[in-house]
Amino acid sequence: MSTTLITNIGELTTNVATPGDPCGTLREAAVLLDGDRIAWVGRAESLDRENPVRRREHGRGLRSRRGTEFSPSEHTEITVVDAGGRAMIPGFVDSHTHVVFGGDRADEFEARMTGVPYAAGGIRRTVAATRAATDAELRERLAGFVDELHAQGTTTFEIKTGYGLTIADEERIARVAAEVTPEVTFLGAHVVPVEYVDDREAYIDLVTGPMLEACSPHSRWVDVFCERGAFTPDESRRILRAGIDAGLIPRVHGNQLGPGDGVRLAVEVGAASVDHCTYLSDDDVAALADSDTVATLLPGVEFSTRQPYPDARRLIDAGVTVALASDCNPGSSFTSSMPLMIALAVREMGMSPAEAVWAATAGGARALRREDVGVIAPGTRADLVLLNAPTRVHLAYRPGVPLIRSVYKDGVTL
């Protein structure tokens, strides 16, 4: 167990809300990491900068402005890191990815950029490539994506199945994903595979029966693509209910390609989140505002498909909890960059920089029903990102610039 004091933080985004500031911003701050947890958060002036251990020797602990105290043991050795006046934020929480897959669909992207409209049918191409890949190939590619996520400041991420669509292939995707994250989502209901196009009922029986049974030991969540070309509201409800009965927590892909019933279904079943939310009626917004379901927005999809961006301002003003996620996948959003999601949300979706950073951290944590990440507070996981910038605003102000200076995951620098 190591103890690290990060001090001289110019702007610290804690996401512990204070009146008028949901980001809980502290200036000239410091954070103490004790093992994999945050032990203390406060103003740097609370510390003896010459020798932060001296307080221990005098029998006193460190106290934050919120009254939280940390008293190191007699033998604690504290490593001091000078942030140089830079900004620090919680590690990004990417609550929607599909990063276990085979193949590539760059040709589809090129076609869309020349006017071919997006359709969900390309998923079946990735299914074929994923089925053909070995476990070792899937693991190797996944390891590359994990490195990519970490390098861009993402410390917590979800991974969905959905590119196997057989019992064996869905199970191995879930199993491989579970090796790198506890946030695994069973998405056997991504699309109906080609071998079942003439017998949808048989495929739904498979998803709600033996496929669910094989994947649930590796999964925390169950998801369904409730959309035209994928699954109807009645089919989606049946699939989600089966997952709930198996002990999984529901989430929904909904309202991406046009108006639909995905949002209302998500609220009905108590889903943790409904993702996409591109086309919403007033009733959809009201239903979300009256629920605990998070609206997870995926602006990388709109960037890559040239669809309209979702109206985050409308949702926030209605009191809906909003998260941002990458939807990293080979078809409609082949990016793992949460800083890019923040820049797009600010430029295209009516969010302020502070709202976008909150949505990419604390919002994502709420979408995953996690209280130990997405915030910087005593007792939470020591997952933090030091920016090579004086404020979080630079994540939107300087799009495309690598501003991640250092990443701490469970108290360890990646």
State how far the Cα of 258 lies from the Cα of 309, in Å rounded to an integer. 12
Q: How far apart are the first and last CA of the chain?
A: 16
Q: Quote the crossing angle between the two packed helices 167-178 and 123-132, to the nearest 10°.
A: 80
pLDDT exceeds 80 at position 236: yes
Residue 49 pLDDT grade (very low, low, confident, very high; cuts 50, 70, 90): very low
Residue 65 has pLDDT above 50, yes or no: no
The Cβ of residue 374 has, within 10 Å, a number of other Cβ atoms equal to 30
Q: What is the mean pLDDT of residues 178-199?
A: 97
Give pTM, 2 decimals: 0.93
Q: Alpha helices, DSSP H only, in 114-248?
A: 123-132, 135-151, 167-178, 200-206, 212-215, 233-245
- What is the pLDDT averaged over residues 276-293? 98
Residue 324: beta bridge partners? Answer: 297
Q: Give the pLDDT confidence of 378-414 residue by residue, as tens digits.
A: 999 999 999 999 999 999 999 999 999 999 999 999 9
pLDDT value, residue 269:
98
Minimal CA–CA distance to 159: which of 96, 247, 102? Answer: 96
Would you state the pLDDT for residue 51?
Answer: 44
As a whole number, mean pLDDT of residues 138-153 equals 98
- Cβ atoms of 352 and 148 within 8 Å: the answer is no
As a whole number of angstroms, the distance between CA 62 and CA 60 comes to 7
Residue 139 has pLDDT above 70, yes or no: yes
3-state SS, residue 320: coil
Residues 6+ apart with CB under 8 A from 136: none
User: Could you give the domains of the chain?
Assistant: 3-90+375-413 (2.30.40.10), 92-367 (3.20.20.140)
